[in-house]
Amino acid sequence: MCGITGWIDWNSDLTRESDNLERMTDTLAPRGPDAAGTWITTHCALGHRRLSVMDPENGAQPMIRYTGDDQYVVVYNGELYNAPELKRELASRGRSFTTTCDTEVLLVAFMEWGRACVERFNGIFAFAIWDMTAQELFLARDRLGVKPLFFSQRDSLFIFGSEPKCILEHSAVKAEVGAEGLAEIFVIGPARTPGHGVYKDLSEVKPGQCMVVNRAGVKTITYWQLRSTPHEHDVQQTAEHVRELLEDTVIRQLISDVPVCTLLSGGLDSSALTALAVNYYAKNGQGNVHTYSVDYQDNDKHFQAHAFQPNSDAPWIERMTSHLGTVHHPIQFDTPELVTALHNATLARDLPGMADVDASLLLFCHEIKKGATVAISGEAADEIFGGYPWFHREEALQADTFPWSLATTMRADLLSPDIAAWIRPQEYIGDRYADAVAEVPQLVGEDETRRRMRRMSYLNITRFMPTLLDRKDRMSMAAGLEVRVPFCDHRLVEYVWNIPWEIKAAGDREKGILRQSLQGILPDDVLWRKKSPYPKTHNPNYLTAVKGLLLDVLDDPTSPLLPLINVKKIRELAESDTASSNLPWFGQLMSGPQLFAYLYQVNLWLKHYKVSIG
């Protein structure tokens, strides 16, 4: 994985802007700690930071290739899991290769098939290719949006990059936020509306989209989206096909020239991926799989089961590592580390994020990086297979809003009256929810139950899953660690999308069809274990610490957060028992302590980035 950036300017000579390009590229150094490169011509500048995974010796970027006199230059962040097949096909069509890295495969595929190349890719990617002859920039992002790609369009300028920070480093872009940006922070956050960059004049290439930038303007093309079709398989056939797809996906994603490990929580998703990896390693004589888990100091003393987190992970991790014989690395953090990491987690996102859920993952990835460069993670299975509690609760299914963000009235009450009147929080989230529902691809003839569950699935895949993929990408890449997410294979997503709910929930269990597909791969007790989300700290010291951080912000008259919030309300909340309740403020994991940490991150973000509002 890597970091990419660059820009087009039709009215200037960019060969004079090498310093600007170097600064933009340097902001992405954590994403690519192994190498850096820039390429610049009159109207196009490209920058790249590299994390070497495939062909470390020959995969330098920007990469340049020729067809006759036509020159093509690429900067690329991602992995093509079907690169070997593509390479064979391209070779059969007369194309030659000088490396074994997938960057060259991607570039040659574009040279052969043009914009249609993206439809052939199986992988996670964000890239930009400059066609010198056509004087045209082509950009694309993978189907599920695993890899990020932001852009800013201003007059003759088109600026892009893996993260907002590299675009904000450009001299033409300022850290400004308007009413919509504030609504994203205070109403939608820590999620984001697809395509929305929060900052003024900053947008995001949506998953499954590509862009063409030339003198005629900027054209956006959707090359992939979910399509609703009848499901032809019965329960057994469905389970078998899910298993085949998952096995193929994991095998593809285990290929690497550097060490690969798995993230193991002892839950269904991570245990399944780890078991498949162990089977593959054993079959090919590749030795033991290394696994990593995260926990928190004194969690065993303070853990209290509740609807969103019914049991702790530790015994299940031990069960799986013993069963599979992995080389296990348990990682543990204490409250002071989590609190301190809130700062770096904010800078990794360039925005306030998921509080300790972000911070702990950032710390975790730094520890994993000491022993591995690539990790396999179970992200996205719950969105795709319907694992979250809100798939199974009538009040969430009937709620006329996003089910992970039900406390909209409370959120609105935390804003200052002036800001609330300006951003209109209830109206804003209502509009964003209506937009999402209007996008759902319907299937003619479905009954009301199936339609409702299809809608819930769509909301999760297109609105909630990106939040977790953003988190995974920013925190892992800030540590120079590549994390692969097999459940985001588009073939699997397309197939599972059209499985009727009664089959998806086979056996009247969340992710029932996935459990059935994994029979014989996992022990029965793990196979049927009740879902438990990413672990968070239950230590009351964390609440005390983040409450203290926020109160310090409230006590400082220079805090940029103060004009935006209802200070009195937030003080009252901090002093009430509500702060320590398990009622989620966002998702499954973010309750009172995370709300305080999030508001602290908002203040930090405003201050560090010198954000202007208006």
pLDDT band, very low/low/confident/very high, at 591 (cuts 50, 70, 90): confident
* pLDDT of 254: 93
Q: What is the average pLDDT across 263-273?
A: 95
- Residues 280-339 have pLDDT tens digits of 999 999 999 999 999 888 776 655 554 555 556 888 999 999 999 999 999 999 999 999
DSSP designation for 165: H
Report CA Rg, the chain.
Answer: 24
> What is the enclosing helix (H) or strand (E) of 232?
none
Q: What is the average pLDDT across 475-491?
A: 97
Q: Do 425 and 415 touch, CB atoms closer than 8 A?
A: yes
Q: What is the average pLDDT across 339-345?
A: 97
Of residues 575 and 241, more confidence is placed in: 241
Q: What is the average pLDDT across 85-97?
A: 97
Q: How far is CA 20 from CA 15, 40, 172, in A?
A: 10, 11, 10
- Report the relative pairing of strands 176-177 and 612-613 from DSSP bridges: parallel
* pLDDT of 517: 98
Sheet containing strand 209-214, strands side by side? 63-67, 70-80, 123-131, 136-141, 209-214, 217-222
Of residues 530 and 38, more confidence is placed in: 38
Catalytic residue among 2, 44, 210, 365: 2
Residue 231 has pLDDT above 60, yes or no: yes
pLDDT band, very low/low/confident/very high, at 576 (cuts 50, 70, 90): confident
* pLDDT of 297: 84
* pLDDT of 573: 87
Which of 4-8, 59-63, 334-338 has the weakest average pLDDT? Answer: 59-63
Residue 78 has pLDDT above 60, yes or no: yes
- Residues 533-569 have pLDDT tens digits of 666 677 888 999 999 999 999 999 999 999 999 999 9
Q: What is the average pLDDT across 483-491?
A: 97
DSSP secondary structure, 311-366, as one string: S-SHHHHHHHHHHHT-EEEEEEE-HHHHHHHHHHHHHHHTS---THHHHHHHHHHH
Burial of 215 (0-12, 13-18, 19+ CB in 10 A): exposed
What are the backbone dihedrals phi and psi of residue 297, each rounded to the nearest 5 degrees, phi first? -55, 125
- Reported pTM: 0.95
- Dihedral over Cα of 191, 264, 79, 495: its sign: negative
pLDDT > 70: percent of the chain: 94
Assess whether 101 carries a catalytic annotation.
Answer: no
As a whole number, the mean pLDDT across the chain is: 93
DSSP secondary structure, 69-125, as one string: TEEEEEEEEEEETTHHHHHHHHHHTT---S-SSHHHHHHHHHHHHGGGGGGG--EEE
Residue 344 has pLDDT above 80, yes or no: yes
Q: Give the up-direction half-sphere exposure of residue 414: CA atoms within 13 A in the CB hemisphere.
A: 21
Q: How far is CA 166 from CA 29, 32, 172, in A?
A: 10, 13, 12
d(CA 303, CA 102): 45
* Residue whose C-alpha is closest to residue 95's, from 70, 112, 72: 112
Which of 168-182, 434-448, 533-547 has the weakest average pLDDT? Answer: 533-547
- Residues 13-40 have pLDDT tens digits of 999 999 999 999 999 999 988 889 999 9
Structure tokens at 59: 């995969």
Q: Do 334 and 297 touch, CB atoms closer than 8 A?
A: yes
- Residues 600-614 have pLDDT tens digits of 999 999 999 999 999
Which of 93-97, 214-218, 284-288 has the weakest average pLDDT? Answer: 284-288
What are the backbone dihedrals phi and psi of residue 113, each rounded to the nearest 5 degrees, phi first? -115, -5
Q: What is the average pLDDT across 76-88?
A: 97
Residue 159 has pLDDT above 90, yes or no: yes
Structure tokens at 5: 């950036």
Q: What is the average pLDDT across 354-380?
A: 96
- Residues 499-527 have pLDDT tens digits of 999 999 999 899 999 999 999 999 999 99
d(CA 125, CA 147): 5
* pLDDT of 1: 64
pLDDT band, very low/low/confident/very high, at 258 (cuts 50, 70, 90): confident
At which residue do the structure tokens 């109206």 appear? Answer: 427
Residue 128 has pLDDT above 60, yes or no: yes
- Residues 395-438 have pLDDT tens digits of 889 888 999 998 888 899 999 999 999 999 999 999 999 999 99
At residue 614, the 3 state secondary structure works out as coil
At residue 469, the 3 state secondary structure works out as helix
- Residues 370-380 have pLDDT tens digits of 999 999 999 99
* pLDDT of 74: 98
Q: Give the up-direction half-sphere exposure of residue 468: CA atoms within 13 A in the CB hemisphere.
A: 26
